[in-house]
Amino acid sequence: MIGVFDSGVGGLSVLREMRRLLPQADLVYLADQARAPYGERSLQEVRDFSEAIARYLISRGSAPVVVACNTASAAALRGLREQWPGVPFVGMEPAVKPAATLTSSGKVGVLATQATFQGELFADLMARYGNGVEVLTAACPGLAALIEDVPPDDPAAADRLTGHALPLVAAGADVLVLGCTHYSFLQNALAERVGPGVTIVDPAEAVARRVAAVAEEAGTADGSGTTTYLTTGDPVRFARQIEVLLSERVSPEPVQL
């Protein structure tokens, strides 16, 4: 079984790609909606939440565990790997490396939560791949929470994301990196608003490819092809969100951590 978690629905963008690449794998997705959004929590809180979720998913036999949340990856991924060295973890990181190869202006914009920019992972990412390009950042407070509440075709969320993106474009960024899995559901709407001269990079597919490779090594790539949905919040609300975002009718299970 492959375990996947996020603060809410954002990680479903990664799950969607995983389901496409790993149709036979058994997946369990946990949305920590009772404590979302993570982006406005302290890094220590996010570490504590992530450890509790990882412990739960591992107890259910998950390997690998996919941290399908940029904020949780930035805050907790290193600690999770240290705490469970025998469990493979796959995390999210803003796609600065591929963006650096795509830019013509030498300027790349990253849209994410403030907590993502504060985490060790982003600092390490900049040290490894930020040389040679100017990385412009924009924190988007409240946006992940808004995406939890409105359907992806509602212009409110896309307009807010665009409002954060346009100053980066005006400053010369010709590549925009979606540094929060929630923002993936707004990729097409953002592309329409910023125009064809700006490339938008969403790491969901690349992360899913990495998960597929790790699952093959762990022997969890083949199963019965089931997906179990769990939430610490309201299962009825989560079911409606899954139907809107993934066009699936499911019955999520409540879980307490």
Interval 76-120: pLDDT, tens: 999 999 999 999 999 998 889 899 999 999 999 999 998 888 877
Residues 213 and 248 in one domain: yes
Task: Determine contact, residues 31/68, Cβ cutoff 8 Å.
Answer: no
Residues 65 and 114 in one domain: no
Residues 104 and 197 in one domain: yes
Q: What's the pTM?
A: 0.93
Residues 7 and 34 in one domain: yes
Residue-wise pLDDT tens digits, 71-80: 999 999 999 9
Total number of domains in the chain: 2
Distance CA 216, CA 17 (A): 16
Residues 249 and 157 in one domain: no
Catalytic residue among 67, 69, 111, 215, which?
A: 69
Residues 72 and 52 in one domain: yes
Residue-wise pLDDT tens digits, 238-257: 999 999 999 999 999 999 98
Structure tokens at 257: 């951590």
Residues 114 and 148 in one domain: yes
Catalytic residue among 110, 180, 200, 242, which?
A: 180
* CATH number, residue 237: 3.40.50.1860
Residue 138: its pLDDT value, please?
97
Distance CA 9, CA 144 (A): 9
Residues 226 and 160 in one domain: no
Structure tokens at 112: 């994410």
Q: Can 180 be counted among the known catalytic residues? A: yes
Q: Which of 162, 183, 203 is the last residue of a domain?
A: 203
- Tell me what the pLDDT averaged over the chain comes to: 94
Q: Can 140 be counted among the known catalytic residues? A: no
Residues 13 and 139 in one domain: no
Check whether 129 has a pLDDT greater than 80.
no
Residue-range definition of the domain harbouring residue 248: 2-92+205-254
Residue 152 banded pLDDT, cuts 50, 70, 90: confident
